[in-house]
Amino acid sequence: MPIKIVECIPNFSEARRSAVVEQIMEAIRSVKGVQLLDQHSDLDHNRTVLTFVGEPAAVEEAAFAVIAKAAELIDLNVHEGQHPRIGAADVVPFVPISGVTMVECVEMAHRLGKRVAEELGIPVYFYEEAALRPERKNLEDIRRGEYEGLKELIATDPTREPDLGPKVLGPAGATIIGAREALIAYNIYLNTTDVSIAEKIARRVRHSSGGFRFVKAIGLLVEGRAQVSMNLTNYHRTPMALVTETVRREAERYGTSIHHSEIVGLIPNQALVNAAAWYLQVEDFDLEQLLDNRLFSFQMEQMMEAPQPEENFLDQVAEGTPSPGGGSAAAYTGALAAALVVMVARLTVGKSKYAQAEVECWQVIEAGEALRAKLTQAVDLDAAAFEGILTARKLPKETENQKQERSQAIKEATLQAARVPLETAQLALEVLKLAVRMAAIGNLSAISDAAAGANLALAALKSAALNVCINLQGLEQETEPAQMLKELADLEQQAEPMMQDLEESLWQRAGLSI
């Protein structure tokens, strides 16, 4: 299994106060499992771009920590700089690097945005692949008018209201969070102070005004020189060398030339290899010809040769020991059902054919993952509850007091052993609801997977119900057990019409009958 690595490249509206930048970087370093790879601070832009990588959960945590730190230290009301901005932590994109899909990065963006809005009270906008509105895919559209303009409109203009969070801008402004492919921040400086020339060249090369499909560009005056500041969003489709030569030719038209260029942050090897091959006119060059790449591949193979776990859950169930047993198996089945539901939702998002279901599918992914986590936890909780009964039965029973204490402990442990599968049944019903919904609106190619998830969820519910009933035998007339059994009957009753809805969706959408 490939190592999961995500890259995060947050942009901050600060570069001139080095102590502030250092504190922001320290917020990243403080999170275990991430590595800060690069810092680029531009004094004229008054902007710092950081790059860090790590496994997804750690990167997500570090992103939250660094947004919180920037909000604490940066006041947009007194900020000045050449670069457009609306927030202290202005833009926070996630980029899939290894073993991670774009959909997973979108989910990271949405989770982070929800947390930033709820815990920090900062307005959040989603962009690129994480955009919830098509008109917000482009970063420049969200940032139009900058902090000052957005501050006036955020509460009154529906087109400028945030995706999440308050409709008011505080000193930290708003944060734009997204998921995207690798982007190259590439600036070309000209041998002139005339910024209008840079602006004309930017219009020539950027896609929005008829230029290259994967180039965004603006003209700026930086360090006393006109600068064409660009983002190359797909270096495979719009190569760096082609962009550079176009800027060179356009500069000559206006009587100037390129002074130098710079790369902000990190850049994929392939982009530079492509440029080198173009300029050197090398035919059929392959990355495998790079010695460093071959050595890196060898090192990664060595690292990934980790021993496999000695046993898994299925092995444990098959051992012949009392636990884990039926209750744990029910929870495991429910978690598997939730995984199928999330899979179908992920196969639906991003497809133009199912654009109307996009927002709801993201909600299903979030809810399904939460249910999967709870049901996975219930696997161990059920086993622990059964062990509690065994422990209670081992209590001493020499005296009357000991007998009473033992009897009470057994009863409480038995009730707990019923409560856990009851919660499993509750969670399984929620999974069933999501599965039936995905069968109705999800990717038609995966409708059988949604149906499989629904049937597994129903099986989890019924299996959990058996464990509730057997643990409550002889206690049915008591208050809590009676209430638990009533709730269990209600859950099973709710499941029946859901399965009927599933059959209807299968027949109407795919001609399937079960």
Phi and psi for 259 in degrees, rounded to 5? -85, -55
Active site (annotated) includes residue 382: yes
> How far is the C-alpha of 251 from the C-alpha of 208, rounded, in Å?
20
> How far is the C-alpha of 489 from the C-alpha of 483, rounded, in Å?
10
Q: What tokens were used for 409? A: 């402990």
Taking CA atoms, 383 is separated from 3, 329, 374, 375, 493, in Å, by 31, 10, 15, 13, 27
Contacts 24+ apart (CB under 8 A), 462-466: 462/492, 463/326, 463/327, 463/329, 463/330, 463/333, 464/327, 464/330, 464/331, 464/334, 464/421, 464/422, 464/424, 464/425, 464/428, 465/421, 465/425, 465/491, 465/492, 466/326
SS3 262: strand
Taking CA atoms, 89 is separated from 63, 73, 155, 389, in Å, by 10, 10, 21, 52
Nearest-CA neighbor of 411 among 422, 419, 401?
Answer: 419
* Catalytic hit among 40, 45, 79, 83: 83
* Catalytic hit among 90, 163, 382, 449: 382
SS3 127: strand
Q: Which residue in the block uniquely carries the two structure tokens 């040769």? A: 305
Is the preceding omega at residue 481 within 30 degrees of 0, hence cis?
no
Active site (annotated) includes residue 90: no
Enzyme catalytic residues = 83, 382
